[in-house]
Each structure stands twice: as C-alpha cells, then as structure tokens.
Structure 1
Amino acid sequence: MKIASLVPSATESLFALGLGSCVVGVTHECDYPPEAQALPQLTRSVLPPGLPPHEVDQRVAATLEHGQPIYELDAALLAALQPDLIVTQEVCTVCAVSYDDVLAVAARLESRPRVLALDPSTLGEAFADIRRLAEACGVEERADELLEALGRRVEAVERAAAEASDKPRVVALEWLDPPWIAGHWVPQMIALAGGEDVLGMPGEPSRRASWEEVRAARPEVVVVMPCGYRVEEAGSEALRLRDRLEALAARVFAVDASAYFSRPGPRLAEGIELIGHLLHPHLIASPGRGRAVELDLG
C-alpha cells in the first residue's frame, strides 16, 4: 500500500503503527519522526515566511474571508506518487489543505485512491482516529497495542494527579497576538493532568479572546502553546509580550505545541504527562528535558 499523508498528526500515527515504509508523500510541516522529513513534500503554505504573529492572524483571516486556501497541494507530484490511500483532515481550516480540494484532486488520479478524513475534536476522537487509520491499512492489531500503551500512560498521570491537594486554575493560549484560547482536546488534557481549564471548552474549537477576558478568569498558571511553534519560539513570543503575561498569573510556561498539543496524534499522551509535571512536579515526573520552559517575566 502507498499512502500520502496530508496531516502531520497522521504521519506520526502511521509511523507509530509501523507503516512508515508505506508513506510515499507528506506535508511541508511533517517533521516527526525525523525520517518523514526525507519524503516528498506535497504541500506548501501560501503565506510568506517570517511574518510577525499579528500579521499571520490578519493574513489568515483575510485569506479565509475571500475563500482562498492557506495551503496549496502539488497535484502533479501526488499523481506521480500514485497513492492507494490519501489521509487528510477537516477539523481545522488553517491546519492543512482543504478537504474539498483533496477530494477534487483525488477524483482525477489514475490510482483511484481512497480518501480518509480525520476530524477529531476530543482526546477520545483523536485516539479513535488512530484505530480508523489502522483499519484502513489492515493493521488493527497494531492499533490495539499502541492505544493500550497510550491509555496506560494517560491513566498513570490521572491517578497521580488525583493525589494533589489542589487543581490550579489554568489558561492555555494557542496564540498570543491576538490571544486565542486553546480548545478541542487541550482542556481535557489539562483536566487529566490535574488542572482546571478556566476558559477552554472540551471538544469546542479554539477561539479568539481579549486580554481583559483572560485576566478576569484569574488563572494561576498560563501555558503558552502557539500553534506550530516549538518551545524556543513560544518562549521568545511570550517574552515579547511579557507585559501582558506578567499581569495574568504567577507562573507562565512555554511549551512545544507542535509536538505535544497542536497535533492530535500519539504524542498527546506525552503532552498530558508534560502538563501534569508542570502543575504537580512533586507527583508527576518530567517526560524529558526541552519540552517546556518556565518564564521569568519579572
């Protein structure tokens, strides 16, 4: 089977299921596992690189308002790869190639590929999509093993967090300029890790907010997780807006959103371990260095 993955989280899931050798093409953002970076890239962003965050927000909004795509698909390369399966998504209009565009291109391919759209809104749905992906590839037993392992990790964090004497009030920011409240599976991740997400709604889309709304929520912990940013980039952006953030909470963390929060794949389990450690370091061990940094905003 030849698989074209048009979603970074799907690429991660395919490799985790032992299907890396079947993947023939990926997106320009597929950087995990490292082997994925050597595969042909089927997409590109229409936004110029290096834009400041506030301009990214404006450009994305304007592009979508005019009905134009954020990403472009290399239809010629996709046709040359002759995939049997194309994996795409519908959950986010700014995260991947348009689902309708993928269907239109797939209908013209000689290989007549199946198109599988992943559309998770919750943690359970994200993990269920791993099983759907495995079923589409005929490796259901591998999904059983992977999901059982992920479930054990999540349950271990939940049990440890239950021993905590408090549940810190948490705000997770998916973007800073302007502020966006993280939604979908992130509020569930915070709850499992022993926190109370005071603005995010489980299963609901991320949403734009105001700094006044964030401040009024009285968070004790702010987790900065700009979509698509690594921990160093998230930390730099947080420091640029230190005046806003230092007025919100005593503790502010920047995390690797791309690896552990933005992408609904297997590494969400590690994201739960990470949040658990940040909130309750005496109860939950760190999943490893380099995944988060506590910011000194004083």
Structure 2
Amino acid sequence: MGPQRIVCLTEEPTEVLYALGEQDRIVGISGFTVRPPRARKEKPKVSAFTSAKIDEILKLQPDFVVGFSDIQADIARELVKAGVEVWISNHRSVAGILDYIRRLGALVGAHERAEVYAQRAQAHLAEIAQAAAALPRRPRVFFEEWDDPLISGIQWVAELIRIAGGDDVFPERAGKSLARDRILADPREVVRRMPDIVFGSWCGKKFRPDRVAARAGWNAIPAVRDGELHEIKSPIILQPGPAALFDGVDALHRVIANWARRAL
C-alpha cells in the first residue's frame, strides 16, 4: 500500500506521482509547483522552498513528506519532531533523477510504472544524444543559474548540456552541490572561457539578456557578440525531476542545434 497522505515540499515528487497515476495520495504541495498545471488547482499549497506552513501541513495529517536538499533540513527537522515520516532526497545528477523516479515509485507500490517512466526518460535522452552527435560542431556553453552573485549551473544541468550537444565551460564547478560553491567571484572569468552560447535561468525572475550583454568586458564573448543569450525557464531545468529530462533538455538542444547549423 505505502503512504496514503503525502505532502510534496517541491515540485518533482508531485510531477512524478501524477505521471504514475498516484496523485490521489498527494494532500499538499509546494507553492512553486507549476507541473502538472492541474496540481495547482487540485492541491493545497503548504510550502515554499526554504519555508513551510508546519501547522498547515500537520492539519493535513500526512503519513509521508517528501522534500529535496539540505536547504529543507529545518523544515524536515520540525516535521520529524512532530512525528511525521520525512524523506529528503539529495540527488544532483541525471542518473540521480532517474533513480529518484524509481525509488519514489517503489515507495508508493508503483515500481513497474515507475520503471516504464524512467525508461521512457532514458530513451528520450538517448534520442537527444544521438541527434546531438550528428551536429557539425559543439558550442561552449555558460549556464547562468543566478545573476547576483553570478552562479554557474549545477551537475544535472551540465550533464544535460553535454547530452544536448554542448560543453559546459565550468565543468569543475558543476559537481558542487551548494550554490555558494558555484559562485563566480570574478565575472570576467566567463569572458576568459569565451562561451558560444549563454543560457540564463534566474529562478523567480525573468532573464535579461540586455543586462548580461552590458556587463563590463562581456562584449568580447562570442555569445554576446552573436546574440546567443537564451532563457531556459527555471521550472523545466532547475528542478531535479522529470521536467529537466524532457522539456529541459529539449529546450537546450533546440538552441544548440540552431547554433551548430548557423556556425557552419
């Protein structure tokens, strides 16, 4: 049977459970949830990312709460103290996302459907990788997760960039799980690495290519010179869930493939 009253503190468990047909188990979701759209209409919103309405969650009488990362440690602590079972996942890679789908499916007794779903995601990634391998060139890519301070992309983003046909210009930082460890103290370091494409995904606010292009010295960057400054909406790339493995990688590949064709 598994848990029957689940609160999802982030979007990815909500998206997975809906995809598996187990949405009736969900009794509360994150206020940042946009996928699937129907979840916002059907489920009460009881948390943000770094905060949650503990009293409201407890009123829902959950038998399982799912969250993500060390950033939600304080929320988890309060719920555990109140006697609630909590699972905080901490995956940061494409493989971790696939494993997360399988584990969450197993926890709700839907392991076979979860396996099918994970395999569909893997097949999609393989299709994108095959298409990327046929491109005539691979661009150097800078993924900007935040603008002030400047933060480069996390591991699953860097991996999806490679799958989509590009090469992350800060691979040594991508493996750092904490955002503070991916801060670029000197924005001119991006200039020195000369990306062909800049992707921006500023969580909670619109990416502004004009502001990026106006940074001191950035007019020397090929991406700025050629107008290759592109927004990737944060809900499809900055959450370690199914969205990144489908819509997120698709969005990356479209831009990369267009650049590769124009660069001939």
Q: TM-score range by the shorter chain?
A: 0.7 to 0.9
Deviation at 1:183, TM superposition (A): 1.7
Q: Which amino acid counterpart does residue 102 of structure 1 have in structure 2?
A: A
Q: Structure 1 regions of 5+ residues with no counterpart?
A: 46-70, 285-298
Corresponding position: 1:121 with 2:88 = no
Give the 3 Å change call, closer, same or farther, for CA 124–222 of structure 1 in structure 2: same
Deviation at 1:226, TM superposition (A): 1.3
Residue 278 of structure 1 aligns with which residue? Answer: 255
Counterpart of 1:262 in 2: which secondary structure? coil
Counterpart of 1:138 in 2: which secondary structure? coil
Residue 9 of structure 2 aligns with which residue? Answer: 6
Give the 3 Å change call, closer, same or farther, for CA 128–190 of structure 1 in structure 2: same
Q: Distance in 2 between matches of 1:221 and 1:164?
A: 15
Deviation at 1:42, TM superposition (A): 1.3
Counterpart of 1:166 in 2: which secondary structure? coil
Residue 140 of structure 1 aligns with which residue? Answer: 111
CA contact (8 A) 1:4 1:85 kept: yes
Q: Which amino acid counterpart does residue 53 of structure 2 have in structure 1?
A: D
Q: Structure 2 regions of 5+ residues with no counterpart?
A: none
Corresponding position: 1:40 with 2:44 = yes
Give the 3 Å change call, closer, same or farther, for CA 158–283 of structure 1 in structure 2: farther
Residue 183 of structure 2 aligns with which residue? Answer: 208
Name the Cα RMSD after superposition.
2.1
Deviation at 1:246, TM superposition (A): 4.4
Q: Distance in 1 between matches of 2:86 and 2:80?
A: 8
Deviation at 1:204, TM superposition (A): 2.5
Select between 30-39 and 209-218 the one with higher mean Cα deviation.
30-39
Residue 257 of structure 1 aligns with which residue? Answer: 234
Residue 290 of structure 1 aligns with which residue? Answer: none
Q: Distance in 2 between matches of 1:77 and 1:148?
A: 36
Select between 35-44 and 147-156 the one with higher mean Cα deviation.
35-44
Give the 3 Å change call, closer, same or farther, for CA 142–203 of structure 1 in structure 2: farther
Residue 52 of structure 2 aligns with which residue? Answer: 73
Q: Distance in 1 between matches of 2:13 and 2:87?
A: 10
Counterpart of 1:76 in 2: which secondary structure? helix
Deviation at 1:265, TM superposition (A): 0.7
Residue 65 of structure 2 aligns with which residue? Answer: 86
Residue 200 of structure 2 aligns with which residue? Answer: 224
**CA-to-partner distance for each residue in 1:100-136, whole Å, 9 max, x for gaps?**
4323323324xxx431111111111012111111111
Select between 203-212 and 185-194 the one with higher mean Cα deviation.
203-212
**CA-to-partner distance for each residue in 1:136-170, whole Å, 9 max, x for gaps?**
11110111111111111110010111112211111
Higher relative contact order (CA 8 A, sep 6+): 2
Q: Distance in 2 between matches of 1:13 and 1:155?
A: 20
CA contact (8 A) 1:154 1:273 kept: no
Residue-pair matches, total? 245
* Aligned counterpart in structure 1 of residue 242 of structure 2, from 244, 258, 266: 266
Q: Which amino acid counterpart does residue 188 of structure 1 have in structure 2?
A: E
Residue 157 of structure 1 aligns with which residue? Answer: 128
Deviation at 1:89, TM superposition (A): 1.6
More helix by share: 2
Q: Which amino acid counterpart does residue 78 of structure 2 have in structure 1?
A: A
Give the 3 Å change call, closer, same or farther, for CA 141–276 of structure 1 in structure 2: same
Q: Distance in 1 between matches of 2:134 and 2:212?
A: 35
CA contact (8 A) 1:224 1:252 kept: yes
